[in-house]
Amino acid sequence: MKNIVEFMKRNYRVLLVVGILAAGLWSFMPSKTSSGDEKDKMLLELLSFVLEKGHFSPIELNDDFSKKAYASYIESLDPTKRYFIQSDINEFQKYETSIDDMIRSKDLSFFDLTYKRLMQRMKESKEIYSSILSKPLNLNDDETISVDYEKLPYAASKGDLTTRWRKQLEFAVLSDITDKEDIQNGIDKLDAETTEKKEVVKAEPKTFEQLEEKARKTTESNLNNNFSFIAELTREDWFSIYINAIVTQYDPHTYYFSPEDKEKFDVSMSGKFEGIGARLQKKNEGIEVSELISGGPAWRGKLLEQGDIIIKVGQGNEEPIDIAGMRLDDVIKKIKGPKGTLVKLTVKKVDGSVKVVPIMRDEVETEETFAKSTVVNKDGKLFGIIYLPKFYITFENKANRDAFKDVAQEIERLKALNVQGIVMDLRDNGGGSLETVVKMTGLFIDKGPVVQVKPAGGKAQVLPDTDSKVQWDGPLVVMINNYSASASEIFAAAIQDYKRGIVIGSKQSYGKGTVQNVFELNEFVRGNQYGDLGALKTTTQKFYRINGGSTQLEGVKSDIVMPDRFSFMETGEKDEKSALPWDKIEPAIYTPLNVSFDKVIAKSKNRIATNENFSLISENAKWINDRKEDNTISLNYASYRKELSDIEAQTKKFKAIEKFKNNLTFTSLPYELELMAKDELLKEKRDRWHAELVKDVYMTETLNVLFDLTLKEVSATTLEKTKKTKKTKEKKLASK
């Protein structure tokens, strides 16, 4: 999720924290050039001090903390449990409650032990898989494999570990054989160059034995490439993993950036890169697609979705590489690449099916992060839709575009067309600038508080909209989903608290109610002889709704809940192990509109309950949830084939969801139509967006709600009444 760091740069409380840290760290003075061990010890001492003094909710370094850090570290070293054996774990567990003591004493013995043992076990594992893959595999026995690695015990011995490797290799080979058989049998596949369906030309059929041999070679090649990639990691890379197992116990958004990682973080914040345009996150089951960047290659291709788990990565026409157990950063390195090159991702969809998704890398265009709008005629009434991917701003140059100015301009353009209602679409909006969201909320409300921000142990600061001008006072609906986070949650919460509009979408938004700041560690060490120490991103504040409640964990609950496929999935802050808790502070003084949306909400709920598409979506979500615990896979070829066929047969029922169309016509605004006449790429982007809106059952119901709002007097008249009521209350408060 996007971090709201801009506000931090302007907040005196943070400057005070930095000052305290700088003063405290003045004694961190090396006297000579330091070795790697000395630098590592320095980092441990430095990070623990910064977290103790600068984190919003510093925690005690004790045995309980050590146990959590230990578990996180061991899991990150061997997530699929195919390297360490139980005797290793028994040896490691002697340190399970000692990490806190080792941080204080700058003791690296536990890290050194695990690092050396991992290098040893990886070398042995390479010998194991090479031996197993050197001869044909028996794929006819009635064996199974569990892919629930979190619950899987460690191998009891080296012999058991060899058996585990054999099963994992059989699973990989089975998957590859069935893929090759599908292609050989002429089943429709996706053309890698065009991502369009076409009939594959049948080649001379190969026997099962030939396919098995080729699959073994492919699997071994994948593993060799994977191990070669891991071999390139330095001791410093592995020490960063150790450090992050420690610092992420404070909360999931606290993270240490090594010098190389810090450089990548800066690039990601700038938003300019070449790749596929997707954000990824590490999950227990693998690397998950957490967000598609609007306008990027993955978004344009329509094949990759949020929630997809990436299994393999292939370069062009080369055999794909299995990424099981690979670090997130390493996977990203393989997926990113120069514009015009092809990457093929093998992904496990949320319904359990496995697909190969080809994506031609391209420049991820900044333009598509900007606000855009369209109009639609719904039953004789014209409505406007404003889509905002993030709350962007450029502090270095206020003359540049920012979300507040762009949305204000879009509103004026929509008003010029006499729209009778507006939808603010904040689905997948990961956040951005706090300053921007405060000002943008002011476009829809009279002046007043928008959000409260509270530092550790300090008093909450109310951030208000000071402009009494209301740019849009008509019917308003705000769309959110599970991935709407941070600044988008602030906006939705303020609109909801003021009763200014209706919030519709997923059961709740993401639930990130914290503010982070990035500390450059080099700045705290005088006469630094250690070289670049990297940076620490840590949580320093929490923000709260004006009603006093935090958005942390709970997010913003929709007034109208529309079912989605992610209803039962772990997608929010509440599912993070070390997330900060929800709490509440005193509400700010504000006056909500004197309006009731009860009838409009009730009508929508009735429509949703009787809508066949929503019923099918709910059924799909429940089916996905029921299959979530089904982590046992057959290693018998015939049984494995049947499992794939059963899944495919069950998912066919849900294909009807993709066939939905609302028969509405979405049109670009006049100024954009002129631009599109000269800009084919812009026209393609808008045509694609409009085509998606036609198939968007969620937008369809949102427009129904907006239409119902126009049947009520919930616009300028109500706002004027509220202004008078507010002034009366303010006078009474002043007299007290």
| pLDDT score, position 611 | 96
Q: How confident is the model at residue 80 (pLDDT cuts 50, 70, 90)?
A: very high
- Could you read off the pLDDT of 172-202 as tens digits, one per residue? 999 999 988 887 776 544 433 334 444 444 4
Backbone angle region of 316, left / alpha / beta, with phi > 0 → left and psi within -120 to 50 → alpha: left
| pLDDT score, position 333 | 83
Q: What is the mean pLDDT of residues 669-674?
A: 96
| pLDDT score, position 70 | 98
- Could you tell me the CA-to-CA distances from 66 to 94, 169, 238, 484, 719 in Å, in that order? 11, 35, 18, 33, 55
| pLDDT score, position 208 | 92
Residue 469 falls in the annotated catalytic set: no
Contact 355, 647 (CB under 8 A): no
Cα 647 from Cα 620, distance rounded (Å) = 12
CATH 2.30.42.10 in the chain, residue ranges = 273-363
Out of 255-269, 447-461, 634-648, 667-681, which region has the weakest mean confidence (pLDDT)? 255-269
Tokens, residue 151 = 């619950």
Mean pLDDT (the chain) is 86
Q: What is the mean pLDDT of residues 316-321?
A: 87
Tokens, residue 313 = 């990565």
For 373-660+695-723, CATH number out of 3.20.20.80, 3.90.226.10, 3.40.50.2000, 3.30.565.10 equals 3.90.226.10
State the architecture of 273-363 in CATH terms: Roll (2.30)
Cα 388 from Cα 222, distance rounded (Å) = 40
Out of 65-69, 367-371, 499-503, 674-678, which region has the weakest mean confidence (pLDDT)? 367-371
Q: How confident is the model at residue 13 (pLDDT cuts 50, 70, 90)?
A: very low
Cα 169 from Cα 462, distance rounded (Å) = 57
- Could you read off the pLDDT of 373-428 as tens digits, one per residue? 999 999 999 999 999 998 988 765 556 778 999 999 999 999 999 999 999 999 99
Out of 2-6, 538-542, 596-600, which region has the weakest mean confidence (pLDDT)? 2-6
Q: What is the mean pLDDT of residues 565-588?
A: 89
Q: What is the mean pLDDT of residues 546-566?
A: 95
CA angle 441, 444, 445 (to 5 degrees): 85
Out of 105-119, 197-211, 423-437, 554-568, which region has the weakest mean confidence (pLDDT)? 197-211
pLDDT greater at residue 627 or residue 632? 632
- Could you read off the pLDDT of 468-514 as tens digits, one per residue? 999 999 999 999 999 999 999 999 999 999 999 999 999 999 999 99
CA atoms within 13 A on the CB side of 671: 9
pLDDT greater at residue 724 or residue 38? 38
Q: How confident is the model at residue 258 (pLDDT cuts 50, 70, 90)?
A: confident
CA angle 135, 160, 83 (to 5 degrees): 90
Question: Residue 639 CB: number of other CB atoms within 10 A?
Answer: 16
Choose, from 486, 506, 604, 715, the residue flagged as catalytic.
486
Q: Please report, rounded to a whole number, the percentage of residues in the chain having pLDDT higher than 90.
A: 59
Cα 568 from Cα 624, distance rounded (Å) = 8
- Could you tell me the CA-to-CA distances from 150 to 71, 78, 283, 631 in Å, in that order? 11, 11, 11, 11
Q: How confident is the model at residue 568 (pLDDT cuts 50, 70, 90)?
A: confident
CATH 3.90.226.10 in the chain, residue ranges = 373-660+695-723
> 190: closest CA among 344, 69, 384, 396?
344
Cα 317 from Cα 481, distance rounded (Å) = 36
Cα 371 from Cα 443, distance rounded (Å) = 15
| pLDDT score, position 196 | 42
| pLDDT score, position 262 | 63
| pLDDT score, position 716 | 39
555, burial (CB in 10 Å: exposed 0-12, middle 13-18, buried 19+): buried
731 residue type, one letter: K
> 539: closest CA among 248, 104, 244?
248
| Helix axes 697-710 and 598-610, enclosed angle (nearest 10) | 150
Q: How confident is the model at residue 682 (pLDDT cuts 50, 70, 90)?
A: confident
Q: How confident is the model at residue 2 (pLDDT cuts 50, 70, 90)?
A: very low
Instruction: Give the strand pairing for 342-348 and 362-363.
Output: unpaired
| pLDDT score, position 324 | 78
| pLDDT score, position 217 | 94
322 residue type, one letter: D
| pLDDT score, position 189 | 43
Out of 26-40, 327-341, 647-661, which region has the weakest mean confidence (pLDDT)? 26-40
| pLDDT score, position 337 | 87
> 220: which DSSP letter?
H
416 residue type, one letter: A
| pLDDT score, position 16 | 41
Instruction: Give the strand pairing for 448-455 and 461-465.
Output: antiparallel
Q: How confident is the model at residue 658 (pLDDT cuts 50, 70, 90)?
A: confident
Q: What is the mean pLDDT of residues 86-92?
A: 98
Residue 54 in 3-state DSSP? Answer: helix
Choose, from 512, 537, 542, 726, the residue flagged as catalytic.
512
Cα 82 from Cα 125, distance rounded (Å) = 8
Cα 197 from Cα 651, distance rounded (Å) = 19
Q: Greatest CA separation found in the chain?
A: 91
Choose, from 497, 564, 696, 708, the residue flagged as catalytic.
497
Cα 43 from Cα 512, distance rounded (Å) = 28
Q: Phi and psi for 339 in degrees, rounded to 5? A: -55, 135
Cα 298 from Cα 537, distance rounded (Å) = 28
**Strand segments (E) across 640-715:** 666-667
574 residue type, one letter: K
SS3 percent helix, strand, coil of the chain, rounded to 5, is 45, 15, 40
> 474: which DSSP letter?
S
CA angle 346, 219, 191 (to 5 degrees): 35
Q: Please report, rounded to a whole number, the percentage of residues in the chain having pLDDT higher than 70.
A: 85
| pLDDT score, position 264 | 58
Q: How confident is the model at residue 727 (pLDDT cuts 50, 70, 90)?
A: low
> 407: closest CA among 381, 430, 425?
425
End-to-end CA distance of the chain: 44
> 357: which DSSP letter?
E
Residue 512 falls in the annotated catalytic set: yes
Q: Phi and psi for 724 in degrees, rounded to 5? A: -65, -40
Instruction: Give the strand pairing for 381-387 and 422-425.
Output: parallel
| pLDDT score, position 367 | 52
- Could you read off the pLDDT of 142-167 as tens digits, one per residue? 999 999 998 999 999 999 999 999 99
476 contacts: CB under 8 Å, gap ≥ 6: 421, 422, 423, 424, 444, 495, 500, 501, 502, 709
| pLDDT score, position 653 | 85
Q: How confident is the model at residue 5 (pLDDT cuts 50, 70, 90)?
A: very low
Q: How confident is the model at residue 271 (pLDDT cuts 50, 70, 90)?
A: very low
Tokens, residue 398 = 């206020």
> 44: closest CA among 95, 101, 93, 91?
101
Contact 433, 392 (CB under 8 A): yes
| pLDDT score, position 543 | 95
Residue 507 falls in the annotated catalytic set: no
Where is 365: in which H helix or E strand?
none
- Could you read off the pLDDT of 106-148 as tens digits, one per residue? 999 999 999 999 999 999 999 999 999 999 999 999 999 999 9
- Could you tell me the CA-to-CA distances from 650 to 257, 306, 371, 647 in Å, in that order? 44, 21, 39, 5
61 residue type, one letter: L
Cα 719 from Cα 595, distance rounded (Å) = 10
